[in-house]
Structure 1
Amino acid sequence: MSAEPVLVVMGVAGTGKTTVGLLLAAALGVPYAEGDAFHPPANIAKMSSGIPLEDADRGPWLDAVGAWAGGCGELGGVVSCSALKRTYRDRLRSAAPAVVFVHLTGERALIERRMTARTGHFMPAALLDSQFATLEPLEPDEQGVPVDVAGTPEEITERALAALRSRRGGTG
């Protein structure tokens, strides 16, 4: 496979999508985009106020993330995006059919501890329950790999790279 994949690092808030996404992009030598940067100000204001987004709020954001992913071409890229529902991932795939999802998973207690420890992020830990309620894990027909978030960011990234290599080797 000569073209690099476009990876979407997905999962609930607090799983380390940005940190792992940056490490994956560096390891692969591809561009990185922060999915939160594609949110319109109204979405940021809602989440900052502790109000979960509705599907209507997410549509333009998903389209913008998908457009970035679709524009990467054969160079590849990594973008962070919660992509919690199958329909959201389908929307991303409609703009970038070859995306591969890296689903960061973990125990709720660990993720909540990480969320409460971080500073300067608009997403409050109070929205974690709504994130888990919305989450639809990857289905067998979706291109992607689940990766546990226990451990250091470097360990998580290594597990992701190993899972991607295994997946790629299995598909030729």
Structure 2
Amino acid sequence: MVEHLNSQDGVRLLLTPNRSLSWRGNVQIWLALLALSALIATGMALAGAWVIVPFAGLELAALAAGIYLTSRACQRREVLTIGECNIHLEKGRTRKLTEWTLPRPYVRVHLDAPVHPFAPPKLALIHRDTEISLGSFLNVDDTERLVQLLESRGIVIERKTPDPEIGLWF
């Protein structure tokens, strides 16, 4: 998702992945699946198939780990501030983990077009030898919106199309 934030320094954008459900919603779904699995495992154990119980527990533990890792990955944030002289990028989850300040006149945005039509293009901020990925978690529509916003602010976009020799298996 691409959101505008209030800023006195220039244009400030908040980039976040799309989240279909909150952490609380994920936990509620897991609890519902826990209840259903416990009901089925109890019935199977009473019928004599007690070996089902540990496998149901392993399945629920794997599901909980998957929900946790996915929910954590969906908390990533990037804040891009485009000022008069500088471009400032901050990355993190709940707090800022890394940040870069690059001189605006010398920054380019490198846009690699995807091989597959449903995949989003890859964006990177480039200044000399520094290449920083930008919005790697954005979907196709959000990436196009970000590119339009950057172009409207005068940022140079270098577009690269995939080689025609590349096959479908990459």
TM-score, structure 1 as length reference: 0.23
More helix by share: 1
More strand by share: 2
TM-score, structure 2 as length reference: 0.24
